[in-house]
Amino acid sequence: MSDRKSAWIPRVIGDWWPIAGNPDLGKFQTERQQPLDFGIWQAADGTWQLWSCVRRTACGGHGRLFYRWEGDGITDRHWRPIGITMTADPGLGETEGGLQAPFVFREGGTFYMFYGDWVNICLATSRDGKVFSRQLNARGLSGLFAEKASTSTRDPMVMAHQGRYYIYYTAVPEAKGAIYCRTSADLVSWSGSIIVSSGGRAGSRPSDAECPFVVYLAQDAAFYLFRAHPDPLSGEYRTSIYRSHSPLDFGVDSDDHLVGSLPYEVVRIIEEGGSLYISALNADYTGIRLARMEWVPA
């Protein structure tokens, strides 16, 4: 871990507070359902939005859909449950019940939501940050891109840096999980892909490179990748942290950039009003939580 001496890692300040639980899905409700990968952002009216993929529902196909909560302030507990906000549309090329991992990035007056449909990374946009419309490709389908067939391209996340956009996501070619990246100048047309993180202590199984999240830490002039995976010993999910001076290289089959880990899944870092917050799933998949955080030397 050659980067560890000069690295920083998040530290939770105080207690976590709950913002979402296991929702009432009405006719799609099941006893096995669980909120999973999610996105958090602030809408145009200042309210906070939370969309989560809920798995093991009765919606058909792979059993996944998107549910929405809303909070007036980021520190509010138990955000208001709004309801089911999106289900897969097979008529647009999406896999039935296959919606995964919504992530929203705001640029100017437009909100861009990237999500997976079990095969592709897709795009929907919004002006208010609440109601989204799918953006279709030249064939009238919602898919933006995917890796090779049957690679389960999913879990998108977008970062802006020096006039370029970087989209990080998971794919599983030949049953080996890896984090990929593409770049763009307009959030619509994307470059070819490269693998930016794979293997190492986190492993190379299909679920060993999930939920990527990348931030640029100005005080360190370095990029930090958060990568979720099951612990090799306990099987419980955790998030490994990698540090690099390049947004396109966090170590391929290498731990040279590994600087630490957190015992949480689906880590997202949010800055609001000069304060930092960290989000995660509950360990038992009963909901989603937030906490204050700070960066500390590793």
Burial 55-94 (b: 16+ CB within 10 A, else e): bbbebebbbbbbbbbbbeebeeeebeeeebbbbbeeebbb
Locate 178 and state its tokens.
């890896």
- What is the structure's pLDDT at 3? 64
pTM of the full predicted structure? Answer: 0.96
pLDDT at 2: 52
DSSP for the chain, please give it.
-TTGGG-EEEEEEEEEEEEE-S---GGG--TT-EEEEEEEEE-TTS-EEEEEEEES-SSSTT-BEEEEEEESSTT-SSPEEEEEEE---GGGTPPTTB-EEEEEEEETTEEEEEEE-SSSEEEEEESSSSS-EEPP-TTS-SEEE-SSTTS--EEEEEEEETTEEEEEEEE-GGG--EEEEEEESSSSS----EEEEE-GGG-SSTTSSEEEEEEEETTTTEEEEEEEEE-TTT--EEEEEEEESSTT-S-BS--TTEEEEES-SS-EEEEETTEEEEEEE-TTSS-EEEEEEEEEE-
What is the tens place of the pLDDT at every residue in 62-110? 999 999 999 999 999 999 999 999 999 999 999 999 999 999 999 999 9
pLDDT for 1: 45
CATH superfamily of 4-297: Glycosyl hydrolase domain; family 43 (2.115.10.20)
Low-confidence ranges of the chain (pLDDT < 70): 1-4
